[in-house]
Amino acid sequence: MAVNQRSTASSLAQEHPTAIARVALYARVSTLNGQDPEMQLSELREYASRRGWTITYEYVDQGVSGSKESRPELNQLMADAHRRKFDAVLVWKIDRFGRSLKHLVNALADLGAYGVAFISFRDNLDLSTPSGRLMFQIIGAMAEFERSLIQERVKAGLRNARAKGKKFGRPRAQVDADRVASLRAEGLSWSQVCRTLNVSKGSAQRSVARLAEMQSMIACSAGTDPSKQGG
């Protein structure tokens, strides 16, 4: 309901083409491993120059996933848009601005309320025009649908793997319970035992407890009481 309301507000706010003189560039890369936002920025600068627009500022989020709504530079961009420091936001592609349809619609509704246009260079979308808004709704819905399909495929794969007995998470540490018991019998503290065997205190104590339990079960099955042996 909130998304529909904000979408309507965005449409009304950008019903007519906005006169654009000053633009802000926004770029984002998900990781810092070999990804460079300069590729996005260089194309955006060239496009702004061809349109005769003045670039007021470049906002760049590096190493930030698109699924996160809160990003430092994007937050600053929205704050500056509220102050009308520029007339339009220019991005390389829609998925650089946000991958969630809900987030996109909400952000665009805010920009529309501030009187700031939104333009996606690669998608050839200018949301200050009716045709641009229509295309955005179609592409945004398809992108959200694709994202949902990917998530469902991942979940199905995990369910299938669990059904086949595959274990997830960190494997249990292998602890030599006899060695732990021997070191303790020699008078070493738990901390010294853990440093010697490079295991955690919890793992060491659990291994000794399991060893004692097994010895007790063996003694009981043999008809002897281990607590009375040697008496």
**Interatomic CA distance for residues 4 and 105, integer angstroms:** 8
pTM, to two decimals: 0.54
**Interatomic CA distance for residues 106 and 3, integer angstroms:** 7
The end-to-end CA distance of the chain, in Å, is 78
- Is 2-139 in CATH node 3.40.50.1390? yes
Torsion, Cα 96 102 108 113, to 10 degrees, reads -150
At 15 the pLDDT is: 45
At 6 the pLDDT is: 52
Residues of the chain under the 50 pLDDT cut: 1-5, 7-17, 231
At 11 the pLDDT is: 44
At 7 the pLDDT is: 45
At 203 the pLDDT is: 83
At 5 the pLDDT is: 43
Q: Which residues are catalytic?
A: 30
Q: Give 110's contacts (C-beta < 8 A, 6+ positions apart).
A: 6, 78, 81, 82
Q: Give 183's contacts (C-beta < 8 A, 6+ positions apart).
A: 192, 193, 196, 197
Count CB neighbours of 89 within 10 A. 25
**Residue 128 structure tokens:** 């200050």
Torsion, Cα 199 200 201 205, to 10 degrees, reads -60
At 10 the pLDDT is: 43
At 66 the pLDDT is: 55
For 99-131, the pLDDT digits (tens) are 677 778 788 889 989 999 999 999 888 887 888
State the amino acid at position 143 in one-letter form: A
At 91 the pLDDT is: 96
